[in-house]
DNA sequence: TTCATTAGTTACCTCAAGGTAAGTACGCGC
DNA sequence: GCGCGTACTTACCTTGAGGTAACTAATGAA
């Protein structure tokens, strides 16, 4: 009685991975959902050219220097962006998205779109849940 | 010079959302990547029938009672699982995935599979990055 | 000499996730 | 009367994300 055949395929794929690889898979997916990673990647992708650190800092509204540095380091480590340092003063560092970074964005997009499209249903569900809870509390 | 047309579509979709809805979209995506949510959902989906709290606790290896309760409450609030309580002693509570929960899993699966399939490339990238970093540190 | 610029780094803080361990409520069987 | 079983709930702790603010190195400009 398994209906989620596609998900089963994913599970089978996971089974074929070592524990290290499984951990890494989770780590990558988890990072995708942190506060800045996707935003930074999409800024670099939409720019279509390498961007200096300070340009990214401007375009990713609200990110702190510290968090941006950290995010970019992680992305660089995973091969999702490149970092090019110029021996100049003041320093110049350019970041660019890699092909695999683009590929990842392309795979995130359908999920993100679906969630955005479905957001009304989630709002509705929350209203139902919260009002039910309120009435439960009222009756105490 | 925008190449990521699909991602642009997602961005356009986001632009059409209120700030509340945008926040909610991020929240849902973020929750997908937390430690237990996906695992709990896939256990319920694969079961193909409602499961008692204690069954889920067994099958989601390593989750604590506290975290499972919290995860299930959040999923219930968002309409992704249902919670049915029976007036019995000892208490019986059954959880089941909803159609929208199934739908969400189906949209997560391609991304997850891609990451799992690509995990070797990420490992490789990390090795390159880490050894380069080591040699930088050695030369200090 | 002093300052501005750029890309960090560091110290310090808060907040939330998540773990452990213990307590709660309740009817049933012994 | 007492413990068992079930689904929580609470107190307490550790860890990591992420924020602010200040500091750094090197050089060209004023």
Q: pLDDT tens, A96-114?
A: 999 999 999 999 999 999 9
CB B81 within 8 A of CB B98: yes
Domains of chain B, start order:
33-138 (1.10.10.10)
A140: pLDDT strictly greater than 50: no
Q: A34 beta carbon < 7 A from strand D?
A: yes
Which carries the bigger pLDDT value, residue A132 or residue B67? B67
Does residue A5 surpass a pLDDT of 70? no
For the cut 70, the answer to whether the pLDDT of residue B3 exceeds it is: no
Contacts of A105 in chain B (CB under 8 A): 4, 7
Q: Burial level of B45, CB count in 10 A (0-12/13-18/19+)?
A: buried
Mean pLDDT calculated for residue range B112-131: 95
What percent of chain B stands above pLDDT 70? Answer: 91
**Could you tell me the distance in Å between the CA of residue A38 and the C1' of nucleotide C12?**
28
Please report the residues numbered 15 through 54 in chain A whose beta carbons come closer than 8 angstroms to any beta carbon of chain B.
17, 20-21, 24-25, 28-30, 32-34, 42, 45-46, 48-49
Pairing of strands B92-97, B51-52: antiparallel
Confidence of residue B117 (pLDDT cuts 50, 70, 90): very high
CB pairs under 8 A between A and B: 182
Q: How confident is the model at residue B4 (pLDDT cuts 50, 70, 90)?
A: low
Are the beta carbons of B109 and A25 separated by less than 8 Å?
A: no
Contacts with A102 (C-beta within 8 Å, 6 or more apart), sequence order: A45, B3, B4
pLDDT at A93 (0 to 100): 97
CA angle A93, A97, A100 (to 5 degrees): 140
* A102 to B3: CB separation less than 8 angstroms, yes or no: yes
Predicted pLDDT of residue B2:
44
Query: Looking at residue A1, what is its pLDDT?
Result: 46
E strand or H helix at A28: helix A19-32
SS3 A1: coil
Q: Does A2 touch chain B (CB under 8 A)?
A: yes
The token pair at A41 is 């990647």
Structure tokens at B89: 């002693």
Judged by CB atoms closer than 8 Å, whether chains meet at A119 and B24 is answered as yes
* pLDDT reading at B113 higher than 60: yes
CA distance A75 to B22: 24
Q: What is the pLDDT of residues B55-80, one digit of tens each?
A: 999 999 999 999 999 999 999 999 99
pLDDT digits (tens, 9 = 90+) for A39-91: 999 999 999 999 999 999 999 999 999 999 999 999 999 999 999 999 998 99
pLDDT confidence of residue A6: 64
């Amino acid at each position: 009685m398994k209906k989620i055949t596609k998900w089963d395929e994913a599970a089978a794929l996971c089974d074929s991975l070592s524990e290290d690889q499984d951990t890494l898979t989770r780590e990558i997916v988890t990072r995708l959902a942190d506060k800045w990673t996707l935003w930074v990647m999409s800024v670099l992708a939409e720019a279509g050219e390498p961007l200096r650190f300070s340009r990214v800092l401007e375009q990713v509204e609200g990110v702190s220097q510290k968090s941006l540095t950290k995010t970019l380091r992680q992305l660089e480590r995973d091969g999702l962006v490149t970092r090019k340092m110029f021996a100049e003063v003041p320093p110049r560092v350019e970041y660019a998205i890699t092909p695999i970074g683009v590929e990842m964005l392309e795979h995130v997009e359908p999920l993100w779109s679906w969630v955005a499209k479905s957001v009304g249903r989630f709002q509705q569900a929350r209203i139902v849940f919260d009002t039910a809870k309120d009435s439960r509390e009222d009756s105490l």
